[in-house]
Amino acid sequence: MPDIQIFEPDGRAIPFIDEGGDGPALALIVDRGLEADALGTVAHFLVEEEGFRVVRIGVRAGADAASRPELARDAVDVLGHVGLGRAWVGGHGFGGTVARVVAAEHEDRVGGLLVLAAEDEQVPLPATLPVLVIQGSDDDASPAAYADRLRDAAPERVSVATIAAAGRLFPATHPGETAATIEAYLGWD
């Protein structure tokens, strides 16, 4: 398993893990309260089985006082640090909300948006990017209605997939199915 690295632009200690090689690039921002190594099993499937390059970005120390745009800037700074000019950007829960801010404010750096367990937040979707939302069917914290609202906002660009019999932590409890859904949507086979 790759080690967590710390990138410190302007004194911000942003944890991240960069794994994989020259394959399609995906940045995953973890949910608040989780370490940068969260989403590790999903990343492992995508890296080892499908040849992706996955950069997992954690939440910096003291992030409780940081705004969503500041956390989005953290993600963009990490992507620049590891040499990714453009990548799919996604996240789980709050990480998905931050990914939405990244896509809305830095659309030139984003190839598409991946939201795992959408939160009920008013963040505009980027104007032109494709969006994949994955929800757990039994998620009480992020119910399907949140994903449906995103799809209704841009039905021509937003796709919703549901992981059956899965709750909020479906990336941990159903990592193979989550990774397969991502890979199938992105069509990188």
What confidence tens digit (pLDDT) does each residue in 43-73 have?
999 998 888 999 999 988 776 778 889 999 9
**Domain 5-186, CATH number (from 1.10.760.10, 1.20.1440.230, 3.20.20.140, 3.40.50.1820):** 3.40.50.1820
What confidence tens digit (pLDDT) does each residue in 127-160 have?
889 999 999 999 988 989 999 999 999 999 999 9
What confidence tens digit (pLDDT) does each residue in 74-86 have?
999 999 999 998 8
DSSP-assigned states of every residue in 3-66:
PPEEE-GGG--EEEEEEE-SS-EEEEEPPTTS-TTTTHHHHHIIIIIT--EEEEE-PPTTGGGS
- Please tell me the predicted confidence (pLDDT) of residue 188: 52
Residue 90 and residue 115 in contact, taking contact as beta carbons nearer than 8 Å: yes
